[in-house]
Amino acid sequence: MFFQIAINLGLVLVGVAAIVYMLIRRQFTYWERKGVPYIKLESYLGTYADVINKKKSVPEMLKELFGKLKGERFGGVWEILSPRLFLVDPDVLRDIMVKNFDSWTSRGMTFNPEVDPLSQHVAMLDGKMWKGVRTKLTPTFTSARLKHMHYLLLECAKDLEKYLDSLAQKNEPIEAREVSAKFTTDVIGSCVFGIQMNSLSDEDAAFRKMGRKITDSSSFWSRFTLLVQASSPWLFKKLKLSLTSPDVEEFFLRITREAFEYREKNNVQRHDFIDLLRNLKNTDQKLGEDDVVFDDKLLTAQAYVFFGAGFETSSTTIGYALHELAVHQDIQERLRKELREMQAANKGEITWDGLQGMKYLDKVFQETLRKYPVIPQIERVSVKPYQLPGTNVVLPAGSKCLIPIYAFHHNPEFFPDPEKFDPERFTEEAKAERRPYTFIPFGGGPRNCIGSRFAEQQSKIGIVKVLDKFKLSLCDKSQNPLRYKLGARFLYPERGVWIKVTHLGANDK
C-alpha cells in the first residue's frame, strides 16, 4: 500500500516536472516557431543573464545585442523566460511607437490601486484611464505655463549657487550627481508641491530622503515586489503587493492634502503644478467617454510621478553634462561665452527667452542626452494582435517589445564615433540629415515623456548656473571615461560623477 502511494506520488511529480520542462522548452522555441530571427539562449536566466549576474551593465548588453542583430530589422530575445521583440530598425520603431500606436498603447505594468493608490499615475495606467489622465495633464506642460514657473526655478538656482560656493571654498571635489539631485528635488518640490524643500541647505531634508527611498530598489522587499510584478502579474495581483512603502505613501498624501488646503484657505495662486492639479479637481467636470474624475488620491499620484520621474532623470543628466564640460575645457569656455552674451542682452539675468535663445547650450544638452540617455531602454506591450510590417508574422495581444534607446544612440551608423562628446551633431543641418527615430532620449509617440520640456528647462538652468560662477575640471576622484553601475536599470555612473569646482578667476570671466 505504502509503496503504491509512493510510486503514484513519484509518477505525478515526474509528470508535473515533465510538463513544466516542456512549457519552458516551448518558451525557448517561441521565436523560432514565429519565424523571427533570434539570439540563441544560453541560460535559463534569459538573454539578459549577464546583467542579472552583474557581469555586464544594461547599456553594454544593449549594444552587444544590437550588434548581434546587425542587418536584421528586429530580433527575438528573452527576459528570463518571457520573450521580447528587440527593435533594431528605426522604421519599425516608428511603426510601433507612432503609426500603429493603437496596437501598442501599454507599458504592461501591473499595480493594485486599492492598496497602492500612488501607483495609479500616468506612467503606469493603461487604456481609457491612461488616455483620460494624459489628456488632462498635457496642458500642464505648455511653454506658456513653464514660462510662468521660470521664477521658481531661478529661486532654487540661487540656493544651488550658494551651496556650490560653500563647497568650492572647502576646496573638495563634489559629486555632481548628488548636488544636482538636491537642486532638482528643490525645483520639483517648489513647482509641484509648492513647498521649499531646502535639500541644498539641509542634509536631512525630508524630500531628499524620500527621493532616495523611491529610487533605491536595493532592499530585499522592493526587489521581491519588482520581481513578482515583472514575472507574474497574476501573483502580484493575488498577493495584493504594493510598490510604494507605507511611509512614502503617507508622506505624499499628507503634503499634497496640506498644499491643497493651504491654498484653498489663503486663496494663494503661484502658477505652479499644484495650482494646475487643483484646477483639474475644481473645474466643473463635464465628462466625456474618455474622461476621468480626479479625486485627491488620483491627483496626488500624478504629483508623485512628476517627482519620481522628474528629479533623478534630470539630475543625472545635469551630472553627465557637467562631467563632459570638465573634460572638454574648450566646450566649457564656449558655453560660458554664450552665457555672458545672453546675460549682457538681459541686464545680467537668466531670462526664460534668453535661455531659449542659447543655441550652443541646446546642442550640449542634446548631446548629453545622446551619449547618456538616462533611461537606456523602454518597453511597449501590444493590446491587440499585430502583424509585423513586411512579414507574415503575427504577434498576439500581450506581446512585449523592447526599444534599446542606448543602442540607437551609440550606433556608429547613426552617430559616427559614438563615444566622442560632440555637440556639433546637433546643428540644424546635421539634425535634418539624420534618420528619424534614431535620437529618442524621451521616447516617442503619444506615450513619450510628458515632462521633457520641464526636464530641459531645469537641466539647462542647473548647467548655466554652475558655469556662471564656477570653473569645472576633473580631479583625482574622477572616472574618465565614466562606467555604468552594474545591476541598475537606469544609466547611473558606477562611482558617481566627481568634479572639482573652483571660483572663476578674473581671466575666466
In contact, 164 and 501? CB cutoff 8 Å = yes
Does 90 engage in binding with ligand HEM (CB under 6 A)?
Answer: no
Contact status, residue 104 vs residue 380, Cβ threshold 8 Å: yes
Does residue 248 belong to the site contacting ligand HEM (CB under 6 A)? no
Helix 143-170 to helix 176-188 angle (10° resolution) is 140
The C-alpha atoms of residue 65 and residue 232 are separated, in whole angstroms, by 25
Determine the size of the site formed for ligand HEM (CB under 6 A): 25
Residue 86 backbone dihedrals phi, psi, to 5 degrees: -95, 120
Task: Choose, by CB under 6 A, the member of 62, 93, 96, 123 that binds ligand HEM.
Answer: 123
For position 110 contacting ligand HEM by CB under 6 A, the verdict is no
Verify binding: residue 331, ligand HEM, rule CB under 6 A: no
Selected from 351, 448, 473, 479, the binder of ligand HEM by CB under 6 A is: 448
- Residues 332-361 touching ligand HEM, rule: CB under 6 A, are none
Instruction: Report the alpha-carbon distance of residue 246 to residue 116 in Å, rounded.
Output: 9
- The grid cell for 320 is 553627465
**Candidate segments 71-79, 209-217, 306-314, 484-492, binder of ligand HEM by CB under 6 A:** 306-314
Can residue 378 be called a binding residue for ligand HEM (CB under 6 A)?
A: yes
Residue in 41, 93, 122, 497 binding ligand HEM, rule: CB under 6 A: 122
449 near ligand HEM, rule: CB under 6 A: yes
Q: Which one of the spans 55-63, 371-379, 480-488, 491-499 is the region binding ligand HEM (CB under 6 A)?
A: 371-379
**Does residue 455 belong to the site contacting ligand HEM (CB under 6 A)?**
yes
**Binding piece for ligand HEM, criterion CB under 6 A, among 68-76, 279-287, 313-321, 474-482:** 313-321
User: Under the phi-then-psi rule, with left for phi > 0, alpha for psi from -120 to 50, and beta for the rest, what region is 390?
Assistant: left
Per DSSP, which regions of 333-377 are E strands? Answer: none
> Is 313 one of the binding residues for ligand HEM (CB under 6 A)?
yes
Output 31 or 66, the one with its CB closest to ligand HEM: 66
Report whether 191 belongs to an annotated binding site. no
| All cell numbers assigned to 141 | 506642460
Q: What is the DSSP letter of 438?
A: S
Q: Please report whether residue 450 would count as binding ligand HEM according to CB under 6 A.
A: yes
Considering the rule CB under 6 A, would residue 462 count as an interface residue with ligand HEM?
Answer: no
Quickly list H helices, 357-404: 359-371
CA angle 149, 155, 161 (to 5 degrees): 135
- Interface with ligand HEM, residue 108, by CB under 6 A: no
Place of cell 528586429: 74
Helix (H, G, I), strand (E, B) or coil at 362: helix
Phi, psi of 470, deg, nearest 5: -130, 150
What is the contact surface with ligand HEM in residues (CB under 6 A)? 122-123, 134, 305-306, 309-310, 313-314, 317, 374-375, 378, 441-444, 447-451, 454-455, 459
User: Where is the binding site for heme, in residues?
Assistant: 449
